[in-house]
Chain A
Amino acid sequence: MAATSLRRLIGRFGLWLPLAVVLIIGALPPLTGSATLREGIFLLLMFAALASSLNILLGYTGYVSFGHIVFFGLGGYVGFWCLSALDWPLPLAVLAGGLAAALLALVIGLSVLRLRGAYFALATIGINEAMRAFVSNFGPFGGPTGMSLDFSVYQAYGGAGNALWLTYFAVLGLTLLVVAASYAVKTSKFGLGLLSIREDEDAAMVMGVRTPRAKALALVLSAIVPGMIGVLFFFKNGNVEPGDAFRLQSSIEIIVMVMLGGFGTVLGPVLGAAGYERLRSFLLTSDPFKSLQFAIAGVILLLIILFIPRGIVGWLRGRWPRLRGVLQ
């Protein structure tokens, strides 16, 4: 009796640990009240959420997407347009951004997700570039120069300073939500279906997994929060333009984070995002590395791929099998 409840507690540890990591990191700025720290942690949390959501597709389902940032960009654009053109309040705009990203994901999920392996990966690059090129030509979204917010918008949220804290807590909340969703998916029957698609899609289909529906649902799930975070990010910045919203580079950095932490795990993307973001800000602020930061990130990525392809968490789980119950 005691053993089963203990096991249940340890079993849930796979959820509590990543949530605690996010909460501890997220509590630092409000505790210190430092605005510089808040900006740094904002980016860290944002990437943790993006990496965790990508992990649902990349890590669980085994589909490589080079276009994850398209959901962030499109959601951001739609939400921003609601804010600036329709004068919607922020929460509604954030929902609109999430909805737009989910719709795009549904369309992609029902059509492009038929492609497998390298073909799907190539198609996602095409989707991101097509969307970027389209938005650059789209009049209502401001074309190549994008849109910007009037400063007075922030008055409704108690001034710019308050608005920045508000978006910070919103991103913290969304990051916790994604991590919890990632755990819920992984431990559900649906998640088991996704994992079986990753291992062998044809076999999964034969065993009764409705693969097209499961894949589309996984993509939609992975798209919603990035769309919402996009709105918050561009609301905070006060402007949005195609180059910032659909940066192929960011898509790949998110993949690096998932790989660094360990793909297919709940904790991995969070650790990977934290590690990569810290490393980048260290490189950016220390003089000899400043201009070489991109090359150094490349060397690290190459070393991970070649020597620890399962990432930090995957390596720990392989090294100490006892940790498997704890690290999900």
Chain B
Amino acid sequence: MLEQLLVSLVDGLLIGFVYGVAAMGLTLIWGVVRVINLSHGAIIAVAMFGAYFLSTGFGLNPYLALPFVALGGFILGYVIYLVAVRRVIDAPPLSSLLATFAVNMIIIGIATTALTTSPYSINFSLGSLSLGPLTLPGTRIVASVAAVVVAAGLYVFLYRTGLGRSIRAVANNRAAAELMGIPSGRILALAFGLGTLLAAVAGGLIATIFPFTILSGGSFELKSFVIVVLGGLGNPIGALVGGLLLGGLEGLVPVFTAASWVPVIEFVLFILILLIRPTGLFAGRGE
């Protein structure tokens, strides 16, 4: 029993890092641009297929394909911002929610026509690693390591570079940042692109672990919402911790009851946290 628990927990935590990266993208966009990006899932799904075609079509190692997927995610997000989000940025939340959802419909509609909704998977194995009772699939380990590296990279970018400082300034107070000479339009587009880049990286990593369809992004988008609320909307580090919590939960719950109860528990938790602590579990004062 204890062994089973440990195995499930570690399995869940490893995938939790990847969830965390997807959620960081969502929370970064909310924190800086003040938009809940409902095309998040579509971008994750497109990235899965990007990784698939780069690795099966061009025979690229899926991890070498990841930088290209990330770049594609960034460009896609930048374009989405310019076309759909920029005009509604100061409108009531309904407008930006619906604008990003419209983008989601367009992407999913076109991709469904091109790819159908049948499942795909990347045939790629790294063997597995045995540690005592634990047998960890190589792809999961690499995915979680890659997720941590990306998260660390984001942290360094936000806190150690001038551009990152500008992003944080706009997130704190857009009007004041503009008065300090920060080109807020470009910074918002950059932040949106960074958020979709993170979604794309998460998609590319998930594609090496699970089979997927063009509609798979939707469930990861919902997971990202739960994680973002766990960690506090707009808090990237909280998102990573929230990802681990959700991953751990997904690993542990099936040990005790049918796996189909996992979403019930997830979403009830989600609503409760929104009601009791809408700033997230780890928010300090003044958040």
Chain A neighbourhood of B271, CB < 8 A: 112, 123, 126-127, 130
| Cβ–Cβ contact A137 & B105, under 8 A | no
- Residue B102 at the A interface, CB < 8 A? yes
| Cβ–Cβ contact B102 & A299, under 8 A | yes
Chain A neighbourhood of B233, CB < 8 A: 118-119
| Cβ–Cβ contact B105 & A301, under 8 A | yes
- Looking at the assembled complex, report how far the CB atom of B108 sits from the nearest CB atom of chain A, in whole angstroms: 6
CB proximity to A under 8 Å, residues B20-71: 30, 36
| Cβ–Cβ contact B267 & A126, under 8 A | yes
- Residue A323 at the B interface, CB < 8 A? no
| Cβ–Cβ contact A295 & B87, under 8 A | no
Q: Tell which of B197-205, B248-256, B257-265 binds the partner.
A: B257-265
Closest chain B residue to A63, Cβ basis = B94
Known pairs A126-B267, A133-B264, A297-B105; A305 contacts B99 (CB<8 A): yes
Known pairs A121-B97, A129-B263; A112 contacts B109 (CB<8 A): no
- Residue A114 at the B interface, CB < 8 A? yes
- Residue B74 at the A interface, CB < 8 A? no
| Cβ–Cβ contact B274 & A119, under 8 A | yes
Main secondary structure of the interface of B (DSSP, over half): helix
CB proximity to B under 8 Å, residues A284-328: 291-299, 301-302, 305-306, 309
Q: Which among A64, A137, A255, A306 has the greatest number of chain B C-beta atoms within 10 A?
A: A306
| Cβ–Cβ contact A298 & B104, under 8 A | yes
Query: Number of contact residues on A: which range applies?
Result: 35 or more
Closest chain A residue to B257, Cβ basis = A137
| Cβ–Cβ contact A298 & B109, under 8 A | yes
Chain B neighbourhood of A299, CB < 8 A: 102, 106
Query: Number of contact residues on B: which range applies?
Result: 35 or more
| Cβ–Cβ contact B275 & A114, under 8 A | yes
A117 vs B260: C-alpha distance in the bound complex, in angstroms?
Answer: 31
- Residue B229 at the A interface, CB < 8 A? yes
| Cβ–Cβ contact B98 & A119, under 8 A | no
Q: Given B97, B109, B222, B226, which contacts A293 in the complex, CB threshold below 8 Å?
A: B109
Excluding A129-B267, A259-B98, 12 further A-B contacts by CB distance (< 8 Å) are A64-B94, A115-B274, A118-B30, A126-B270, A130-B263, A134-B264, A137-B260, A294-B112, A295-B107, A295-B113, A302-B103, A306-B88
Interface residues of A (CB under 8 A from B): 58, 62, 64, 66, 111-112, 114-115, 117-119, 121-123, 125-127, 129-130, 132-134, 136-137, 144, 252, 255-256, 259, 291-299, 301-302, 305-306, 309
Interface residues of B (CB under 8 A from A): 30, 36, 84, 87-88, 91-95, 97-99, 101-110, 112-113, 222, 225-226, 229, 233, 258, 260-261, 263-264, 266-268, 270-271, 274-275, 278
**Shortest 10 CB-CB contacts between residues of A and residues of B:** A295-B109, A298-B105, A130-B267, A294-B109, A133-B263, A302-B102, A298-B106, A301-B102, A291-B113, A133-B264
